[in-house]
Amino acid sequence: STVNKRFNKTAFQAAVNKYLVTKLATLPEQADAHAWRLAMEYALAETTTMNLLATEQDPKIKNARSVNYLSLEFLIGRLTGNNLISMGLYEEVTVAMAEFGQNLTDLLEEERDPALGNGGLGRLAACFMDSLAAEEYPAVGYGLHYEYGLFKQSFNDGRQQEAPDVWRDETGYPWEVIRPELAQKVGFYGKVEEYTDNDGLNQRRWLPGLQVEGMAWDLPIVGYNNNSVYPLRLWECRALAPFSLERFDEGNYVAAQASHIQAGNLTKVLYPNDNHDKGKELRLMQQYFHCACSVADILRRHQAAGHSILDLAKLESIQLNDTHPTIAIPELLRILLDEHHLSWDDAWAISSKTFAYTNHTLLPEALETWGEQLMTTLLPRHMEIIFDINLRLMGEVAHKWPGDIEKLRKLSIIQEGDERRVRMANLCVASTYAVNGVAAMHTELVKRDLFPEFNELFPGRLHNVTNGVTPRRWLKFCNPKLSALISSKIGTGWIKDLGQLQKLEKFADDSQFQMDFMCVKKANKQRLTDWVAENMGLTINPDAIFDVQIKRLHEYKRQHLNLLHILSLYHRLINDADFKMQPRVFIFASKAAPGYELAKEIIFAINKVAEKINNDPRIGDTLKVVFIPDYRVSLAEIIIPAADVSEQISTAGKEASGTGNMKMALNGALTVGTMDGANVEIREEVGDDNIFIFGLNVDEVQALQAKGYNPYDYYNSDQLLRTSLDLLAGDEFTPGQPGLLNATRHSLLAGGDPYLVLADFADYVQAQGRIDKQYGDQKSWAKMAILNTARNGKFSSDRSIRDYANNIWQLNAVSR
Ligand code: 26M
């Protein structure tokens, strides 16, 4: 039977009134927008929580194969608007709240973003949960219940300032529900003991020196237009009170004591690094805590449904979102070996058919390794198991390549050196049944450059699953005007079947449709213009080209290449009387990891350049630069629909996929980009005429670096480049303080320009020139924009999830 009933407005309003009083201790006459919003969310959460339980208890679900998505990050963004859309209640609730004198749009603006992720990887996990629920593939998402999400960013004289992100109200977060009966205990430290069991067999067991509690919080992931609600289960670490140590020796007691305060706070804060691994002990503790709670919960569900542990791999698949949850592998093996007393071969057969791993990066500094010492201290039994896995792996390698020491060295899970380290990616490839890259080109590079030997040793293990984005949040919800226009032409089927957007192609030459499409774009640009005026006190011209680069700040993403182009335009506008350009607003939004000095310097440089250009009377409306602070999901929802140009300018071979590129193209922006990540596939879909590709391709990048790249070759021979770069050397943008922006310039010259910014500069400027020219022809621009919306249906995360379900998880949908 279905739990979804037709919306009963009176009952809903009664529930809102009830929560105003019982949860918020206020009355309708006194309540402010904040109270109204929370009461509304509590009332709506009644339905989602009931559906969550009904889905969980459904025998069809209990007996179906399901996937467990393990991720240290789920960058879900605001839930209320999205849930209203999935529940099909947006219009109904608008009316019901209006009768209370409350405007739904304003109430939704009141919600803070749960920022439980850094960037692409975390947002992908959120899109995947949305698509799993929409497609009704039985799933549980497992993550961490951080008290503080990604830091809040502000600018102080152009420099990034970080502040803690408090995403939960003191009264709680209405959409989440605590599940005390699902709490788990998690051990750390201690020792491994050998003992003889009742059958006289030698066994090993881990006696932790410290235990903490994992409390479960469930967020409802509401399936679009269906009755399925799956949990996003987030674990919160709590100190076990009273301080409980079961068995310990003197040394470990001290270690445990010292860590106790920390351990009680394991899930306090999300590590703010993106694509960089710092190897911190607390981070490893977070990872193991996440894995231990999640694996225990998967086994609990499996056994509560009456299934044998021997059938685990038949019913459960565990997807590892990057290497961050890798310790789930030795954790499952430990339980199978030490608690269920399976043989190694039986345990391995189960574990290696249960886990699959997604690689999200090739950057060497992002590949996780953990020192043997730390692993042995924190997780002594897991370290033993890792050595056991490696022993067998090395046996296989020696068998395939007899006498080849080099192969052993490259494939080993243990990296030899001053201190031995555990290579988490190698552990993953060796211990899973499927490994995937996140875009076609990325997967080819994983096979060719990262894991060529593994690819030979385990043929068929490496797959591609190209990333995608949820069309509910990234088109229907964030761009209601374009959604309405699309639906007026091709109906609403595209919301669940994004490929249907290609039906728009036949309107690409239709003048009326072109005008309507550009009208929607203009309205979205006006919305962003108003937002910028209101929140930043800055005036921008909505008729200018909105040129957008929104993503984490990283050298490989090359925000400084964008900056150099801006400097070149500024220089030409002032010094070349013949130079003409379409008015353009360059829009940035981006956070830098707090410890990434150069990234913070680049933010500072962009802000200082912006300040000067925006106030230069010689420039007027022609060129503006806006760095919007505190980039987050809810800001992306305003910026993306307003983008004309999408900047995807990473050094070829460095951006695994990108997903902002998909969001902007879908919303009718034209991409200026390198042949990197999913840009390659976007080009394949839209055609070479509807995208602006520039720069070295990955083979050219590798060849140039092999022969010895010298940025001065470019600096000395390209006058525009030299002039642009040298603008950063003086005090042009920092009056009276010459050299303040030198860090960025220095990194590109004496610093060696590791990401080949100077090598790609000239071609980038050319591509930007083509964009400028193209925008002058509004009719043809409109056509190109329409074709970008029409031809990007491939990049729905529904398609990604079906690819995973069919090719990796062997999963069937279960409709309720
Ligand atoms: C590692 C160690 C310690 C602390 C944090 C980390 C860490 C956190 C996030 C490392 C990497 C993290 O994210 C990497 C990431 O976001 N990768 C992006 O994944 C997207 C989804 O597949 C791709 O689209 C992007 O190209 C890729 O950069």
Q: What is the pLDDT of residues 295-335, one digit of tens each?
A: 999 999 999 999 999 999 999 999 999 999 999 999 999 99
In the predicted model, is pLDDT for residue 240 greater than 80? yes
145/215 Cα distance (integer angstroms): 9
pLDDT per residue as tens digits for the range 775-787: 999 999 999 999 9
Taking the centre of ligand 1 as the mean of its atom positions, its distance from the CA of residue 240, in whole angstroms, is 32
Known active-site residue 552: yes
Q: Residue 425: is it exposed, middle or buried by C-beta count within 10 angstroms (0-12/13-18/19+)?
A: buried
Asked whether the predicted pLDDT for residue 254 surpasses 60, the reply is no
What's the pLDDT score for residue 279?
A: 83
Residue 556 C-alpha to ligand 1 middle, in angstroms?
13
Give the mean pLDDT of 684-689. Answer: 98
Q: What is the pLDDT of residue 278?
A: 81
**Encoding tokens for residue 76?**
């879900």
Q: What is the pLDDT of residue 256?
A: 55
The reply to whether ligand 1 has any atom less than 6 angstroms from the CB of 658 is yes
CA dist 371 and 382 (Å) reads: 13
Of all atoms in ligand 1, which is nearest to the CA of residue 658? 24
At 809, is the secondary structure helix, strand, or coil? helix
**443 CB under 6 A from ligand 1?**
no
pLDDT at 23: 95
Rounded distance between C-alpha atoms, residue 632 and residue 119, angstroms: 9
252 vs 458, which has greater pLDDT? 458
At residue 568, the 3 state secondary structure works out as helix
Active site includes 360? yes
- The mean per-residue pLDDT over the stretch 382-397 comes to 98
- Alpha carbon distance 403, 87 (integer Å): 61
Averaged pLDDT for residues 152-178: 95
Please tell me whether residues 500 and 557 are part of one structural domain: yes
Q: Is 805 helix (H, G, I), strand (E, B) or coil?
A: helix
Residue 244 pLDDT exceeds 50? no
Q: Are residues 298 and 382 in the same domain?
A: yes
Give the chain's domain count: 2
658 pLDDT tier (thresholds 50, 70, 90): very high
Are 274 and 134 part of one and the same domain?
yes
Residue 489 and residue 453 share a domain = no
> Quick one: how far is CA 685 from the chain centroid?
23
What's the token pair of residue 512? 């009326």
Kindly state the average pLDDT of the residues 144-162. 98
Q: Are residues 431 and 484 in the same domain?
A: no
**What is the token pair recorded at 705?**
């670096």
The CA distance from 392 to 413, in Å, is: 11
Q: Is 191 a catalytic residue?
A: no
**Ligand 1 site, residue 370, Cβ cutoff 6 A:** no
Å from CA of 274 to ligand 1 middle: 5
Tokens of 534: 């209101």
pLDDT of residue 508: 98
C-alpha–C-alpha distance, residues 173 and 76, integer Å: 14
Q: Identify whether 78 is a catalytic site residue.
A: no
In the prediction, which pLDDT does 562 show?
99
Distance (Å, whole) CA 46 – CA 43:
6
With a 6 Å cutoff on the Cβ, whether 650 touches ligand 1 is: no
* Distance in angstroms (rounded) separating the CA atoms of residues 96 and 75: 30
% of the chain exceeding 70 in pLDDT: 96
Residue 98 located in a structural domain: no
Mean pLDDT value across residues 597-619: 98
Q: 4-16 burial, b for 16+ CB within 10 Å, e for fewer?
A: beebeeeebbebb
367 and 225 share one domain: yes
Q: Tokens 């981006």 identify what position? A: 590
Region 219-223: what's the mean pLDDT? 98
Q: Indicate yes or no: pTM above 0.90.
A: yes
Q: Do 808 and 436 contact (CB within 8 A), yes or no?
A: yes
Let me know if residue 709 belongs to a domain.
no
Asked if the bond preceding 711 is cis, omega within 30° of 0, the reply is no
Query: Do 452 and 510 sit in the same domain of this protein?
Result: no
- Clarify whether residues 409 and 497 are in a common domain: no
- Ligand 1 midpoint to CA 787 (Å): 30
Cα(288)–Cα(269) distance, rounded to whole angstroms? 15
Contact criterion met (CB below 8 Å) for 158 and 608: yes
Asked if residue 754 is part of any domain, the answer here is: no
Closest Cα to residue 292, out of 244, 328, 320, 264? 328
Instruction: Choose one of 72, 121, 365, 651 to mutate for the ligand 1 pocket test, by most ligand atoms within 8 angstroms of C-beta.
Output: 121
Question: Mutate which of 127, 270, 273 to test ligand 1's pocket (most atoms within 8 Å of Cβ)?
Answer: 273
pLDDT at residue 219 above 90? yes
Instruction: Supply 733's token pair.
Output: 């943008």
Q: 667 alpha carbon to ligand 1 midpoint, in Å?
A: 24
Active-site hit among 557, 572, 600, 794: 557
| Distance separating alpha carbons of residues 659 and 653, to the nearest angstrom | 15
Nearest ligand 1 atom to the CA of 366 is 10
The whole-number pLDDT of residue 800 equals 99
Structural contact between residues 763 and 714, judged by C-beta atoms closer than 8 angstroms: no
For range 177-204, the mean pLDDT: 96
Residues 476 and 446 in one domain: no
Task: Classify residue 680: in a domain, yes or no.
Answer: yes
Q: Which of 432, 659, 671, 789 is catalytic?
A: 659
Q: Is 472 assigned a catalytic role?
A: no
Any domain includes 43: no
* Cβ neighbours of residue 218 closer than 8 Å, sequence gap 6 or more: 52, 176, 177, 179, 231, 232, 233, 234
pLDDT at 285 over 60: yes
**Which residue range forms the structural domain that includes residue 306?**
64-78+113-466+802-809
Examine the pLDDT at 246 and tell me if it is beyond 50.
Answer: yes
Q: Cβ contacts of residue 327 below 8 Å, gap of 6+?
A: 287, 288, 291, 379, 382
Angle at 520 between CA 518 and CA 521, to 5 degrees: 60
Q: Specify the pLDDT at position 170.
A: 86
pLDDT at 4 over 70: no
Q: Quick one: 540 and 603 in the same domain?
A: yes
Per-residue pLDDT band for 1 (boundaries 50, 70, 90) equals very low
Q: Which two tokens stand for residue 93?
A: 């609730």
**Residue 3 pLDDT:** 43
Helix (H, G, I), strand (E, B) or coil at 659: coil
Q: Give the C-alpha distances (Å, rounded to integers) separating 333 from 206, 329, 389.
A: 13, 6, 10
Q: How confident is the model at residue 746 (pLDDT cuts 50, 70, 90)?
A: very high
Catalytic pick from 152, 360, 608, 794? Answer: 360
As for the ipTM of the complex, it is: 0.98
The CA distances from residue 491 to 45, 131, 370, 485, 518, in Å, are 30, 20, 52, 10, 20
Lowest mean pLDDT among 260-264, 318-322, 633-637, 804-808: 260-264
- Kindly give the distance from the C-alpha atom of residue 168 to the centroid of ligand 1, in angstroms, as a whole number: 24
The torsion defined by the Cα of 119, 122, 128 and 130, in degrees rounded to 10, comes to -90
**Residue 432 shares a structural domain with residue 482:** no
- pLDDT for the residue 2: 43
Note the pLDDT of residue 172. Answer: 87
Q: Two tokens at 58? A: 């459904």
3-state secondary structure of 339: helix
Domain presence at residue 96: no
Residue 62 clears pLDDT 60, i.e. is over it = yes
Annotation marks residue 324 as catalytic = no
Residue 441 forms part of a structural domain: yes
Residue 290 in any domain: the answer is yes
Looking at residue 469, what DSSP letter applies?
B
CA dihedral 544, 545, 547, 548 (to 10 degrees): 70
In the reported structure, the alpha carbon of residue 535 is separated from the centroid of ligand 1 by a whole-number distance in angstroms of: 30
Q: Is the pLDDT of residue 598 over 80?
A: yes
Give the pLDDT confidence score for residue 759 in this predicted structure. 98
368 and 402 housed in the same domain: yes
607 Cα–ligand 1 center, Å: 25
pLDDT mean over 288-296: 99
Tell me, what CATH number does 768's domain have?
3.40.50.2000
685 lines ligand 1 (CB under 6 A): no
Q: Whose CA is nearest to atom 3 of ligand 1?
A: 277
- Residue 286 in contact with ligand 1 by CB distance below 6 A: no
Q: Is the minimum distance from the CB of 273 to ligand 1 under 6 angstroms? A: yes
